[in-house]
Chains A and B, each alone.
Chain A
Amino acid sequence: MTAPSTDTPTASAALALGDDALVLSHRLGEWMGHAPVLEEEVALANIALDLLGQARVLLSMAGDEDQLAYLREERAFRNLQLVEQPNGDFAHTIARQLYFSTYQHLLYARLAAGDGPFAPLAAKAVKETAYHRDHAEQWTLRLGDGTEESHTRMNRACAALWRFTGEMFQPVEGVDVDGGALEAEWLASVEDVLRRSTLDVPEGPRSGAWTAGAGRQGLHTEPFGRMLAEMQHLHRSHPGASW
């Protein structure tokens, strides 16, 4: 199965948003047993579980959740390149969470307020993402305005992931929001958090010409294929089995 069914704008959008949640959930799952403090084992797992729950609802709107998760090739995934980025150190994970959860929270707030097909999911997800956003902001403040080392690491992480943030505001078929307004609100919020954290607002482009919208079109970064190989291996080894 290389190409999912995206016959309708809703299925197409469900896949894009579902893949974001699925892939980031998987990355956070990689932290389990490795977190810097026990409370973060709980928090990161909690966020991963919320995202996996969202992914399951969304993928089910587009087809069979397991077929979509386990039997698609890399080129058929529609997630943002941001969420597939490796965990790196805790600062990288937090920078990725800050960028993504701010976007997701603003997006779901809009979807929850509308009457489109995503309104019921968004009504629940907006509460979860508010918590994720708060968690990411609190850690950005602690790491940015903590020690010299944490400040350096957090600045480095925010800068490294900056070039993946433009993709979030490219239009997605079936997602009826004003990308420009979303982007303006996202920028204002993230810049405010970074300033309060004594961190630099990165200066580079928010998406190079070749990355704009790339993940949404199935063009991913190299680490993603390896992530999928691990995620899909067992399922693919037993065709047709139920678990």
Chain B
Amino acid sequence: MATAAAQQTARTQPGTGRDGTAGSIDADDALARAFDAAVAADERIEPRDWMPDAYRATLVRQIAQHAHSEIIGMQPEANWITRAPSLRRKAILMAKVQDEAGHGLYLYSAAETLGTGRDELLDKLHSGRQKYSSIFNYPTLTWADVGAIGWLVDGAAITNQVPLCRCSYGPYARAMVRICKEESFHQRQGYELLLALSKGTPEQHAMAQDAVDRWWWPSLMMFGPPDDESAHSAQSMAWKIKRHSNDELRQRFVDICVPQAESLGLTLPDPDLRWNEERGHHDFGAIDWTEFREVLKGNGPCNEQRITQRRRAHDEGAWVREAAAAHAAKHTTGAPQA
């Protein structure tokens, strides 16, 4: 570890190695070549390995945003826990929201292996310096939204995240393996919830259709901007953080959803959606990128509410965290006093 730290110091001060000789530049080049070779060979980069600063920064940004999305994503679903219409559904929803908190914890741990702290990341979330997925700025207006989130939002998340199980950064890839297993379970539960509504009373069917109508386009936006506008894509793909482009994943998701919507007995709100024999894919209508950018800028329907609730939970919990720290300081024997 000491060696890695020394190497890191040498690398971050190019041309002025620790001993002022050019030897460190050669060592630096060797490390960079070793990194490139490891990525090319599909080996995993681990926390103590040398990595380019920009690779580290990209991963911190992406993993933190992913963790924040899990935490903020608890809110739209928790909104329905106290109103879930059967005890079975209530248990499923509680378990799901609990899983999301757990996913947030895995991901903050993965981010921490890159030399940042959970408190620092939460602070960036609360102050708006780091983002979370745009999807969670939409409101859950009916019970069917819980199903639409499971089917479409978790479905989109899985499409995005399964390739991350092969991401070049080991701790992130391993977190994704665990998370994807649980996410696919949630997705099936959401589908099954919508199916029960779709086959239920006319009012329940209408509730399911309305939810799909409202969540379809925001779910397609979860894959990010089109490839020609995606700032980080090329570099992330070169580093094998990302394995497929935004548009590729979006297309894959649409192709998966169309037959699922049919078997649900629900329609997707896109008059331009049709099978294209030549491409072997579904063509679909234009996404409203103006809306996407507005939501990202903070002007979506729930941006203010989500971040306010998150900050309030944190601020109102401050005395609890202080109590835990004070108690630990009093009762930990042998530890150095702060």
Contact = CB atoms under 8 A, between A and B. Distances in A.
Contact of A233 (B83, B95, B324): B83
Interface in B40-91: 71, 74-75, 78, 81-91
A26 B90 CA distance: 9
Interface in A12-69: 22, 26, 29-30, 32-42, 45-46, 48-49, 52-53, 55-56, 59, 65-66, 69
A212 interface: no
Given A230-B83, A235-B85, A32 B322 contact: no
A156 interface: no
B316 A36 contact: yes
Contact of A149 (B95, B108, B319): B319
Interface residues on A, range: 35 or more
A243 interface: yes
A37 B317 contact: yes
Given A46-B98, A147-B326, A242-B200, A38 B105 contact: yes
Interface string A130-155: 00000000000111011101100100
A235 B309 CA distance: 27
Contact of B102 (A36, A42, A59): A42
Nearest to A141: B327
DSSP majority for the B interface?
helix
B196 A242 contact: yes
Interface residues of B, number: 51
A235 B317 contact: no
B223 interface: no
A32 B201 contact: no
Contact of B74 (A41, A65, A90): A41
Q: Which of B75, B78, B143, B321 is the most central at the interface, judged by chain A CB atoms within 10 Å of its CB? A: B78
B81 A29 contact: yes
A29 B96 CA distance: 12
B330 A145 contact: yes
A37 B200 contact: no
Nearest to A33: B78
A45 B86 contact: no
Interface in A86-105: 89-90
Given A141-B327, A146-B327, A242-B196, A90 B317 contact: yes
A149 B321 CA distance: 12
Given A29-B82, A38-B105, A42-B98, 8 more contacts: A38-B101, A40-B317, A66-B87, A69-B87, A146-B327, A150-B323, A150-B326, A243-B200
Interface of A: 22, 26, 29-30, 32-42, 45-46, 48-49, 52-53, 55-56, 59, 65-66, 69-70, 89-90, 141-143, 145-147, 149-150, 153, 230-231, 233-235, 238, 240-243
9 contacts: A36-B318, A66-B87, A89-B316, A146-B325, A146-B327, A150-B320, A238-B85, A240-B201, A243-B89
Interface of B: 71, 74-75, 78, 81-91, 94-95, 97-98, 101-102, 104-105, 108, 143, 193, 196-197, 200-201, 203-204, 309, 312-314, 316-328, 330-331
Give 7 nearest A-B pairs by CB, closest first.
Answer: A36-B317, A146-B323, A150-B323, A45-B98, A36-B320, A41-B101, A33-B78
